[in-house]
A = this chain, B = another copy of it.
């Protein structure tokens, strides 16, 4: 059977605790679908949320940069849900339309030159290998 979402009302206490933390941390009235589906595995839910919170926290990189990198990877992998959710997340963190447009250009070029490098079998310059 196709995986089904777990809504808050039907969730176990373990799942509710994670949902509550997501809602508080993000100041949102409900968690988004990703968490409702992942709640089918409460251990994975807890681990993934805990990891994501740690990884996406402000640090050496700004939150908007982290969200844009997340979007860049999702675009490269063509994950439709992830593109939609991290586009929204990046905008919330401050990404403007101009920033989005430049991001897409960089992602496009990187995917292009990655293949030119593969096809021409370019060896690594000694200067890049130190």
Contacts and interface: CB of A to CB of B under 8 A. Distances in A.
Interface residues of A, number: 80
Q: Is the interface of A mostly helix, strand, loop or mixed?
A: helix
A26 interface: no
A40 B116 CA distance: 12
How many monomers of this chain does the complex have? Answer: 6
B75 A78 contact: no
Contact of A40 (B99, B111, B120): B120
B113 A52 contact: yes
Interface of A: 1-3, 32-34, 37-38, 40-41, 43-44, 47-48, 51-52, 54-56, 59-61, 65-66, 68-88, 91, 96-125, 127-130
